[in-house]
Amino acid sequence: MSTALNPQATLAAPMDSERFAAICRALSHPARVRIVDHLRTMQQCICGQIVEVLPLAQSTVSQHLKILKASGLVKGTIEGPRTCYCLDGGVLAQFKDMVKRL
């Protein structure tokens, strides 16, 4: 089997259903989708800005951010008293790639 000749069937690692499902799970809540969307258009932002935009308590938003961070889609860097969140382009690209294969 010439693996090189049939990119379609080969490299394409038999999609890790666990990982894919985990990312989908992170995106399985409207609030989290909106957060990702917001992060995409804003480039980056802090928790408080998201709280302003969503009809949810600060603690709830923080929870959602934690879930997104755990999935790898979002990463947060501490900046003084606040945390700056942004999308992880690499993980997002991975996800898009997996979806393409669906």
Partner DNA sequence: ATCGTTTATCGTCGATCAACGATTTGATCT
Partner DNA sequence: AGATCAAATCGTTGATCGACGATAAACGAT
CB of 80 to its own copies, least distance (A): 29
Taking CB within 5 to 8 Å according to partner kind, which of DNA, its own copies, none is near residue 12?
none
Q: Does residue 85 interact with its own copies by CB under 8 A?
A: no
Phi, psi at 63, each rounded to 5°? -60, -45
- Nearest alpha-carbon partner for 74 in 100, 55, 95: 95
Q: Does residue 24 interact with its own copies by CB under 8 A?
A: yes
Check: CB of residue 84 under 8 Å from CB of residue 46.
Answer: yes
Taking CB within 5 to 8 Å according to partner kind, which of its own copies, DNA, none is near residue 65?
DNA
Q: Which secondary structure element, helix H or strand E, spans residue 22, and what is its range? A: helix 17-26
Q: Does residue 20 interact with its own copies by CB under 8 A?
A: yes
| One-letter identity of residue 87 | L
Q: Using CB under 7 A as the criterion, which residues of the chain lie in contact with DNA when the complex forms?
A: 25, 28-29, 31, 46-48, 51, 55-60, 62-67, 76, 78, 80-83
